[in-house]
Structure formats: C-alpha cells, structure tokens
Amino acid sequence: MSSSTQADQANSAFIRRVYSEPPREIKDIKDFLLKARRKDAKSVKIKKNTENVKFKVRCSRFLYTLVITDKEKAEKLKQSLPPGINSLVYIIMEIAT
C-alpha cells in the first residue's frame, strides 16, 4: 500500500471518529454561555419548535446542545450570546393535518 493511500485512510478514519460522535447536551445555561464564548466556538444555530427552543454551538471538537422550554428564557439567552459569533435561526413549524 502506498503512503498516500495510508494517509487518506488515516484522514478518513479521523474524520469519521470526530464527526460521528453525538452532540453533547448541556443542562445549564451558564455552562452553555461559557462554551459559546470560547475561542474555538464557530457558530450558534437556534431551532425554534412549538414546544421548545434548541441552541447548538459548534466548537472545534464537539457540538453542544441546550434545550429550553421557556420562550422568555430563550429570548434572553439569544440576546446574551456573544456578538462576534455567527448565528443562524431556524423556525420549525408543525403542519396541522
């Protein structure tokens, strides 16, 4: 086996290991804000459902998730996110059938 194919296999194994891990769930708002303010935090995604709001912060190694059921707390948390971080807001609407 050539060295380039061994390097490719090692790279793909590393990528599978890093990105196949499930997100880490955080229960504490303060802990989430600390993770969002870290240097390696790249982006925050906000998913709004009818029942809850999910905040997801992508750091270099893990994706951290915080689920909040109180809409007022979610709005306060959204306002207290660091201004320099990229944030995306997804609104998920349930279709009544």
58-77 pLDDT, tens digit per residue, is 998 899 999 999 999 999 99
37, pLDDT greater than 70: yes
Distance spanning both ends of the chain, measured CA to CA: 57
44, pLDDT greater than 60: yes
Model pLDDT for residues 5-23, shown as the tens digit of each residue: 666 666 666 655 555 678 8
**pLDDT value of position 94:** 58
To the nearest 10°, the Cα dihedral for 32, 70, 79, 81? 10
DSSP 40: T
Q: What is the mean pLDDT of the chain?
A: 82
E strand or H helix that includes residue 34? helix 29-36
**pLDDT value of position 84:** 81
Sheet with 43-48, strands from edge to edge, namely: 24-26, 63-68, 53-58, 43-48, 86-91
CB 65 within 8 Å of CB 54:
yes
Please report the domains of the chain, with CATH numbers, ordered by start residue. Answer: 22-91 (3.30.720.90)
Mean pLDDT calculated for residue range 49-53: 91
